């Protein structure tokens, strides 16, 4: 992208966010909260329309998980929001029960239309379900990907639900989050850990080290078995490994103090924050005093690749790009947190043997748009591999245009 073209972009949106920094579009909650701000409410539809479109264009398959410990006559599936929103997919796989680990945001819960999204599974104010769906037994765990420290508090409920419907009721169960990579997988692992602990009578075992070792080994085996079936990537992020290890201790009776549990589950500080273009910090005084190393990373503006919420990061940047708006620093920063494979999908190229040619998620030019700001005005330090991949797709994409 030429500097002249970049400078001709409108600054209207970036100026609005500069005046309303708490509404920066960096989380799904922030996107929903746009409706409450008179100056920014018009953007609510822009962002959510793009996120819905991305979700509808996701052609990935949900996965039937096979494991010796899954002994119910009903099958267990892992999937994403794209699957639960598609009634034909649910009917084809005879999904009668679902566990949704997702908040009631504008993607999942249409406030205006009860026949779409997750609302179609629930009765109206008169107790009537007017929409015909194969799903008769829904359970919602209202957690987003940035609030998973509380997930352990729902394991008793999700474990009971899986037993009730898969084992006792013989129904097929879909466990899903946004993409079927982390929250949903953690819920299934928790169920298998509880089942294993009970069947092996590990809680009353006198040798506590042996009990812990058996739980750890089983958890690692289960995680690998699901990973191999679900996706050729590591599906459990680091905090879920820690959370599930903590749940092991709770199952065998090694975690007794509620205070200790709260401390270990305390939501972590973000690994970085953004410096607005004006140079004023959005890190609170309290945060910088408590975490001086956070303030140092804040000043260096180093981008770190992170999992989770990639769809939000991409779609928000794409909306700025498509509407000829200058992106805020936070938008550019979070765009480069995504895995490099997304760059190739956005340019409809091939990566690691997987072809994205013809991808409905193609956003040609977006990588170059964001890189121009990361390198230029915002002076962001990108991980070497991320910058190399970004440059590669730009070169390949530009060569395609020349042909």
Q: What is the pTM of this model?
A: 0.75
Q: Sign of dihedral through CA atoms 216, 217, 219, 224?
A: positive
d(CA 290, CA 188): 36
Distance CA 144, CA 149 (A): 10
CB atoms closer than 10 angstroms to residue 239: 18
Q: In b/e form, how buried is each residue of 109-131, taking b as 16+ CB within 10 angstroms?
A: bbeeebeebbbbbeeeeeeeeee
Q: What is the SS3 assignment for 175-186?
A: EECCCCCCHHHH
Cα–Cα distance between 390 and 384 in angstroms, integer? 10
Which pLDDT value is given to residue 18? 96
CB burial class (10 A; 0-12, 13-18, 19+) of residue 264? middle
Which tokens go with 134? 């194969």
In the numeric block, which tokens belong to residue 75? 């099958």
Q: Count of alpha carbons within 13 Å of 324, Cβ hemisphere only?
A: 6
Q: Which residues, in sequence order, are CB contacts of 70 under 8 Å at separation 6+? A: 76, 166, 192
Question: Is the Cβ–Cβ distance between 18 and 40 less than 8 Å?
Answer: no
Nearest to 335 by CA among 349, 356, 321: 321
Residue 331 near residue 278 (C-beta atoms within 8 A): no
| Rg (the chain; Cα; Å) | 23
Is residue 51 within 8 A of residue 107, CB to CB? The reply is yes
Domain ranges, ordered by start, for the chain: 3-56+272-305+309-402, 63-262
The arrangement of strands across the sheet holding 172-176 comes to 63-65, 76-79, 172-176, 95-101, 137-141
**Which residue is listed with tokens 């267990």?**
76
- Hey, how many other C-beta atoms are within 10 angstroms of the C-beta on 287? 17
Give the chain's length. 403
Contact 58/326 with Cβ under 8 angstroms? no
Domain covering 63-262: architecture: Alpha-Beta Complex (3.90)
- 93 close to 50: Cβ distance less than 8 angstroms: no
What per-residue confidence (pLDDT) applies to 149? 60
Minimal CA–CA distance to 193: which of 162, 238, 231? 162
Any idea of the CA torsion for 379, 383, 389, 393, to the nearest 10 degrees? -20
Q: What is the pLDDT of residue 2?
A: 44
d(CA 341, CA 29): 26
Q: What angle do CA 35, 119, 359 make, to 5 degrees?
A: 75
Q: What is the pLDDT along the chain (403 residues), one digit of tens a residue?
A: 444 445 589 999 999 999 999 999 999 889 999 999 999 999 999 999 999 899 888 878 899 999 999 999 999 999 999 999 999 999 999 999 999 999 888 888 887 777 788 988 988 777 777 668 999 999 999 987 654 568 999 999 999 999 999 999 999 999 999 888 889 999 999 999 999 999 999 999 989 999 999 999 999 999 999 988 987 656 666 668 888 999 999 999 987 545 554 555 554 443 333 333 333 332 233 333 444 443 343 445 888 766 567 899 999 999 999 999 999 999 999 999 998 999 999 999 999 888 999 989 999 999 999 999 999 999 999 999 999 999 999 999 787 655 5
């Amino acid at each position: 992208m030429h500097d002249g073209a970049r400078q001709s972009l409108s600054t209207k949106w970036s100026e609005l966010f500069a005046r309303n920094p708490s509404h920066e579009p960096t989380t799904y909650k922030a996107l929903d909260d746009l409706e409450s701000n008179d100056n920014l409410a018009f953007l609510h539809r822009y962002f959510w329309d793009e996120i819905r479109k991305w979700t509808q264009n996701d052609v990935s398959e949900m996965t039937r998980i096979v494991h010796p410990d899954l002994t119910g006559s009903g099958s267990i599936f892992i999937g994403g929001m794209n699957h639960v929103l598609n009634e034909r997919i649910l009917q084809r796989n005879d999904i009668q029960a679902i566990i949704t680990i997702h908040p009631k945001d504008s993607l999942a819960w249409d406030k205006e239309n009860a026949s779409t999204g997750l609302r179609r599974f629930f009765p109206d104010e008169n107790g009537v379900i007017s929409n015909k769906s194969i799903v008769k037994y829904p359970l919602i765990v209202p957690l987003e990907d940035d609030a998973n420290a509380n997930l352990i508090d729902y394991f008793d409920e999700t474990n009971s639900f899986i037993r009730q419907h898969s084992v006792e009721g013989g129904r097929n169960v879909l466990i899903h989050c946004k993409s079927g990579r982390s929250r949903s997988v953690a819920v299934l692992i928790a169920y298998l850990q509880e089942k294993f602990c009970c069947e092996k009578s590990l809680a009353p075992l006198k040798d506590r080290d042996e009990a812990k070792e058996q739980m750890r080994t089983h958890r690692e085996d289960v995680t690998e078995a699901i990973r191999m079936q679900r996706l050729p990537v590591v599906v459990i992020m680091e905090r879920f490994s820690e959370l599930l290890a903590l749940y092991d201790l709770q199952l065998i009776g090694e975690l007794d103090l509620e205070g200790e549990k709260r401390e270990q589950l305390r939501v972590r500080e973000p690994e970085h924050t953004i410096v607005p273009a004006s140079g004023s910090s959005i890190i609170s005084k309290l945060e910088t005093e408590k975490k001086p190393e956070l303030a140092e990373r804040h000043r260096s503006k180093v981008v770190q690749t992170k999992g989770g919420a990639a769809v939000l990061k991409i779609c928000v940047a794409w909306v700025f790009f498509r509407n000829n708006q200058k992106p805020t620093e936070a938008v550019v920063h979070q765009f480069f947190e995504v895995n490099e494979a997304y760059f190739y999908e956005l340019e409809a190229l091939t990566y690691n043997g997987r072809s994205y040619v013809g991808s409905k998620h193609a956003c040609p030019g977006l990588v170059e748009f964001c890189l121009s700001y990361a390198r230029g005005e915002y002076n962001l330090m990108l991980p070497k591999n991320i910058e190399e991949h970004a440059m590669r797709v730009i070169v390949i994409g530009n060569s395609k245009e020349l042909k």
